[in-house]
Amino acid sequence: MELLYALFICLSLLVSTAKGLWPIPRNLETGNSFIKLHNSFKISLDGNISRPPQDLLDAIERTMSFLRNDKLQRLVVGRGAADRGAIGSASALQKLLISINSDDIKPIGEEAVKDVLQRNEAYSLSVPADGGGAVIRAETTLGVLRGLTTFSQLWYDDGQGVTYAFGVPVNIENDSPAFPYRGFMLDTSRHFFKVDDIKRMLDVMSWVKLNMFHWHAVDSQSFPISIAEFPEVAAKGAYSSQETYSTDNIQDIVSYAAARGIDVLLEIDTPGHTAAIADSHPEHMACPFGSPWRTFAGEPPAGQLRLASAETTNFTTSLITAIAKTLPSKFFSTGGDEINLNCYANDSATQADLQRTGRTLEQALNDFTQSTHGALRTLGKFPVVWEEMALEHEVDLHNDTVVMVWISSQHVAAVAAQNLRIVHAASDFFYLDCGAGGWIGNNPNGGSSCAFRSWQQTYTFDPFANLTQEQHSLILGGQQLMWTEQTSPENLDPIVWPRAATSAEIFWTGATLPDGSPRNVASALPRLHDIRYRMVQRGINAIALQPEWCALRPNTCDVNA
Amino acid sequence: MELLYALFICLSLLVSTAKGLWPIPRNLETGNSFIKLHNSFKISLDGNISRPPQDLLDAIERTMSFLRNDKLQRLVVGRGAADRGAIGSASALQKLLISINSDDIKPIGEEAVKDVLQRNEAYSLSVPADGGGAVIRAETTLGVLRGLTTFSQLWYDDGQGVTYAFGVPVNIENDSPAFPYRGFMLDTSRHFFKVDDIKRMLDVMSWVKLNMFHWHAVDSQSFPISIAEFPEVAAKGAYSSQETYSTDNIQDIVSYAAARGIDVLLEIDTPGHTAAIADSHPEHMACPFGSPWRTFAGEPPAGQLRLASAETTNFTTSLITAIAKTLPSKFFSTGGDEINLNCYANDSATQADLQRTGRTLEQALNDFTQSTHGALRTLGKFPVVWEEMALEHEVDLHNDTVVMVWISSQHVAAVAAQNLRIVHAASDFFYLDCGAGGWIGNNPNGGSSCAFRSWQQTYTFDPFANLTQEQHSLILGGQQLMWTEQTSPENLDPIVWPRAATSAEIFWTGATLPDGSPRNVASALPRLHDIRYRMVQRGINAIALQPEWCALRPNTCDVNA
């Protein structure tokens, strides 16, 4: 009996540690051999790629740099030394060939900002055990990038400078994501993050094949985004002149992201969450800095755009147009969460505007939204909104609109019933800020408004829960979200990583593992450890998930192990 | 009414931002003036200090370095620029004089490792507004260090290189701690921390006047402490040879701590939590790596010292003696938590030992403990234990023993009833690891075993709850604890700081503020922000407590503000 149990443990170790791939490819065949990386290993482009885009060459160089510098020793007892025997007799891989089946090869940066439904991220990868060449095949440079990312996750260090892979041959046939939208949201208003902090997040996103950076750029606390036609808004609404993103910074972030296969979805939250605009444009603001704040807003300071005012509607539409037109993405978010009705009820200007035009507040909100969304459509973009715009207001949303469900995953079905496209962002599964205590100052309990969302809890999310088969195509994907009331550059890495990689696998791999079994936390954990330790090797302060003793002994710290 | 409210806010701002001192001195008088630091500002020693200890000179140099490099701008709207007008006409402070009223001046490092009841940390500090000299008076170098720490917290930067203080004159008469033991515990077994990580924690501890580093050095997962007479234990029980503390490392940590006014209380947890010894000494181990682990231990791997064995008792006593004798502290912990009875019930060697000697397990545990504690007393040290040794077992603890209450603060009274000395370490107030999700691998909920302990929750702790007046003297103090199942160097700073400063104020300042009012979270928060931002300026990745908008506007993010 004990022998059988030991055998079971050994077998499950073999399977569960066979790869450190995250997200795990949808198709994956592996062997039992080891190979070394040859000293003169090269990544080369197929002959038909006569003028390779620079961002493809950069992606190759980054991959080479990872192979040289990751120095990740395998997570087993004895670490790299445990594999030295097997490595000794292994063949050496001399080359990885990249082949792109296309007559019109475009830069990664162009492929990455297409409509998500038109992005082609598929790739195939084969790594032989006999020293023959490895091959990545794709139809786009974006697909090649995904293949390179997978390839770079295969390699370990033996502690003596030998880089090797195990579980070869590896054969991945036509791996492509289950969902086109796989995101991460960062709030740069409650705390400011330097361009380098954002780039570091984009780096890690690309390592786990996330492809949408939802930039919740502004909010009531600060307005760090500089907009060329409206310089006064950031000048007065940012925390300081050092805590702003110049137009050059924004373009830098957008192109850095695109070269890494990531599209930037910028959000200018309206009409609520806008108090930071009051410093420059008090004429557009209802209940600015109203006190006590709880009467007028979910979070201080209070202040909402005077949505019933024609001037404010024009101002907002112009502001959004001014920034949206500079961005390549097909998506732009106008926000729309947590509109406080009491604020408008107490704003005499808004009440006068409503009375004069004979509209209800909801009618005015619809007009306001049609104006901003119309402007986005003129720019060829899809509007993105928070769920309240679909579920709590009388706004006529066109069915090109993308709705982010945040309050509860239980609200997804109601949005789908309106035939609107959906991004999963529900607080009950995807909020990274939950559980860190409350930010309200004089609360002696200091309680959190929501409990910590462990990676396990997130990982068990079902994207199709409560939906009919016909509604499945409405689900674009999902994202984890980093609200920053209590997060600043100082703790950004560990609060985000590796947890935000969880949704990367949910939405790339889908419901089942390559062998057809359901995704599950027990088999995911060893791979998540692996990518976390790899992140640390690459300089990211990703948090530990278990004692190192457990990380070195897959599944030994499971219950009943 | 609104005017009155505004006046109230203004007044409370004046009071609450008058100082960034943490912990706040027990006596504090402040004025309303500003002073600048003179370009040639110096800290000098009184003439009677003919041969100043090197660690005092080092502490002075560190203080000078903070004055030069902190560059902390005050947490108000406009930051440093907001004070430039007031600074313009301020006097310049040219000198701080240090005076020690003693015929026998000893190094800080010697004062810091005395019995806590004999340590003298008292100091007085006066900083005039007129440019005359500031003065620190103390009876020991340790007191001077505390005074220098307070002094260094007075200074801000105006954003243009001017270093200034506000709220002067400052007069602090005979500030000394309410409790002699103010600690922080770090577990270096679940994850290894480099010497530099530990030194960084010691630095921050000294900035908030914490004086005991409880080093939970070893546990079942790894044994990183190298002990000269028993090199095999770390050689086989550490995660790797890189993840060990050499005897030189240990001495380095101890002297680094002492020079900063911190005593190192080392713990070798026994007889449970010792599986890491099984790799080198299987002969001393009951239920090593027993499976399923939950049957034999609270956390994998299982394994406990064979406490009924004379050989194991000798081995353990020798091991503890070998390390304890190299340490200057008067305190040493033998642990004693979470002894698993089932492990011993299933260990045939233990059962045979018990039968042969005609003892119960509890009698054997008493003999085992008398042996280790007797050895510590021979070395002139007080044994420290976890609460179970007092409350759950039949061990005869001498009343020099210090008991750490960890399971629940409700257990303090029962320990006090035994007339044993107490360090508060209760999980319901002081555990820094709580709330980060569970570390068990295959639990789909991934739930935490305990909820996040916010600083507010910790801050409201009452050290004398449920005790009689006569029992108050049993309370030595308390500490926050960092168990590291899910903490590694990558997230150490933000999970510890500034939260672990909370107990620094509880146990230094005591129940009341200098003006006699009770300590409270609303008035503490602006000061805690201040010390947190100062930590960040000094390179510590301390976590943010509120949106920056709130940090710049004291009490504005309170409920009802």
B209 conformational bin, left if phi > 0, alpha if psi -120 to 50, beta if neither = left
Determine the residue type at B543.
Answer: I
Compute the average pLDDT of residues A114-142: 96
Least confident residue range of A354-358, B22-26, B447-451, B546-550: B447-451
B120 SS3 class: coil
**Partner residue opposite A541 with nearest CB, options B440, B447, B490:** B490
Domain A15-175 CATH superfamily = Chitobiase/beta-hexosaminidase domain 2-like (3.30.379.10)
Instruction: Give the number of A-B residue pairs with CB atoms closer than 8 Å.
Output: 251
B441 at A interface, C-beta within 8 A:
yes
Would an 8 Å CB–CB cutoff place A191 in contact with chain B? yes
Contact A546 B485 (CB under 8 A): yes
| Confidence grade of residue B352 (pLDDT, cut at 50, 70, 90) | very high
Sign of the CA dihedral running B236, B239, B241, B245 = negative
Identity of residue B384: V
Judged against a pLDDT cut of 60, whether residue A371 lies above it is answered with: yes
Listed residue (B309, B199, B316, B315) closest to B264, CA to CA: B199
| Cβ neighbours of B301 in A, within 8 Å | 549, 556
Q: Which of B204, B239, B490, B492 to mutate to test the interface with A (most CBs of A within 10 A)?
A: B490
Chain B positions touching A500 (Cβ under 8 A) are none
Contact between B557 and A440 using a beta-carbon 8 Å cutoff: yes
pTM: 0.96
Q: Is the pLDDT of residue A3 over 50?
A: no
Residue B281 and residue B279: Cα distance in Å, rounded? 6
Question: Rounded to the nearest 5°, which phi and psi values hold at A257?
Answer: -65, -50
Q: Give the per-residue pLDDT at A457.
A: 94
Predicted pLDDT at A401: 98
pLDDT tier at B15, thresholds 50, 70, 90: very low
What is the average per-residue pLDDT within B360-373?
98
Is the pLDDT at B9 greater than 80? The verdict is: no
Residue at token pair 């020079």:
B259
Structure tokens at B347: 């260990």
Run of H or E including A39: strand A29-45
Strand partners, B385: B335, B403
Residue A561, pLDDT score: 81
Using alpha carbons only, what angle is made at residue B457 by residues B456 and B459, rounded to the nearest 5 degrees?
Answer: 60
Pairwise CA distance, residues A47 & A54, whole Å = 16
- The residue from B29, B139, B173, B338 that is catalytic is B338
Residue B446 has pLDDT above 90, yes or no: no
Per the CB < 8 A criterion, the answer to whether A86 and A169 are in contact is no
d(CA A211, CA A182): 5
pLDDT interval class at B6 (50, 70, 90): very low
| Cβ <8 Å between B547 and A435 | no
What is the distance between the alpha carbons of residues A113 and A329, in angstroms, rounded to a whole number? 5
pLDDT band at B2 (very low <50, low <70, confident <90, very high): very low
Nearest CA in chain B to A485: B547
Q: Which of A546, A553, A555, A556 to mutate to test the interface with B (most CBs of B within 10 A)?
A: A546
pLDDT, tens digit, for every residue of B111-126? Answer: 999 999 999 999 999 9
Residue B413, both tokens: 């009274």
Q: Give the pLDDT score at A483.
A: 98
- DSSP β-bridge partners for residue A264: A213
Confidence of residue B328 (pLDDT cuts 50, 70, 90): very high
* pLDDT, tens digit (0-9, with 9 covering 90-100), for A201-224: 999 999 999 999 999 999 999 999
Q: Do A439 and B547 touch (CB under 8 A)?
A: yes
> Which of B4, B550, B553, B556 to mutate against chain A (most A CBs within 10 Å)?
B550
Nearest CA in chain A to B80: A240
Nearest to A332 by CA among A321, A342, A318, A347: A321
DSSP symbols for A370-391:
HHHHHHHHHTT-EEEEETHHHH
Q: In the prediction, which pLDDT does A443 show?
A: 82
Kindly identify which residue of chain B lies nearest to residue A79, measuring between CA atoms. Answer: B240
Do the Cβ atoms of A488 and B300 come within 8 Å? no
pLDDT tens digits along B482-522: 999 999 999 999 999 999 999 999 999 999 999 999 999 99
| pLDDT tens for each residue of A378-422 | 999 999 999 999 999 999 999 999 999 999 999 999 999 999 999
Inform me whether the pLDDT recorded for A14 exceeds 50.
no
- The pLDDT, as a whole number, for residue B7 is 42
CA-nearest of B479, B552, B480, B556 to B522 is B556
Residue that the structure tokens 């007889």 belong to? B271
- In chain A, which residues have their Cβ closer than 8 Å to the Cβ of B293? 556-557, 561
Percentage of chain A beyond pLDDT 70 is: 97
Task: Determine the residue of chain A that is closest to B436 in CA distance.
Answer: A452
Q: How close A310 gets to chain B, by Cα (Å)?
A: 30
A505 counts as catalytic: no
Determine, for residues A544 and B192 on separate chains, whether the beta-carbon distance falls below 8 Å: no
- CB of A438 less than 8 A from some CB of B: yes
Which chain B residue has its CA at the smallest distance from A76's CA? B239
* Nearest-angstrom CA–CA distance, B303 and B313: 15
pLDDT in tens, A56-106: 999 999 999 999 999 999 999 999 999 999 999 999 999 999 999 999 999
* Closest-CA residue to A66 (of A445, A468, A462, A531): A531
Of A497 and A449, the one with more pLDDT: A497
- Residue B445 pLDDT: 77
Q: Are B420 and B471 in contact (CB under 8 A)?
A: no
pLDDT-above-90 percentage for chain A: 93
**CA-CA distance, B236 to B224, in Å (whole number)?**
9
Say if the Cβ atoms of B521 and A442 lie within 8 Å: yes
Q: Give pLDDT, residue A19.
A: 77
The rounded distance, in Å, linking the Cα atoms of A220 and A277 is: 8
DSSP state of B473: G
Confidence of residue B442 (pLDDT cuts 50, 70, 90): confident
Mean pLDDT of A178-185: 98
Please give the C-alpha separations between residue B202 and each of B199, B258, B264, in angstroms, as whole numbers: 5, 10, 10
- Place domain B181-510 in its CATH homologous superfamily: Glycosidases (3.20.20.80)
Contacts of A521 in chain B (CB under 8 A): 441-444, 446
Q: Is the preceding peptide bond at A498 cis, omega within 30 degrees of 0? A: yes
Give the distance from residue A80's alpha carbon to the nearest chain B alpha carbon, in angstroms: 11
Instruction: Residue B160: list chain A partners with CB under 8 A.
Output: none
Are the C-beta atoms of A184 and A492 separated by less than 8 Å?
no
pLDDT band at A448 (very low <50, low <70, confident <90, very high): confident
B186 bridge partner residues: B215, B482
Q: What is the torsional sign of CA B104, B108, B113, B117? A: positive
Residues of A whose CB is below 8 A from B559: 292, 294, 440-443
Assess whether pLDDT exceeds 50 at residue A4.
no
Mean model confidence pLDDT for chain A: 95
Cβ within 8 Å of residue B426, ≥6 positions away: B405, B406, B407, B408, B409, B411, B412
For residues B44-48, give the mean pLDDT. 93
Chain A segment 239-298 residues within 8 A of B by beta carbon are 239-240, 291-294
**Contact, B558 vs A442, CB < 8 A?**
yes
- Report domain extents, chain A: 15-175, 181-510
Confidence of residue A15 (pLDDT cuts 50, 70, 90): very low
Question: pLDDT confidence of B12, banded at 50, 70, 90?
Answer: very low
Sign of the alpha-carbon dihedral angle for B541, B546, B551, B554: negative
- Per-residue pLDDT at B281 exceeds 90: yes
Q: What pLDDT shows up at residue B560?
A: 83
Which residues partner with A157 through β-bridges? A163
Mean pLDDT, chain B, whole residue set: 95
Q: pLDDT per residue over B215-269, tens digit each?
A: 999 999 999 999 999 999 999 999 999 999 999 999 999 999 999 999 999 999 9
3-state secondary structure (DSSP) of residue B174: strand
- Closest-CA distance, B462 to chain A, in angstroms, reads 13
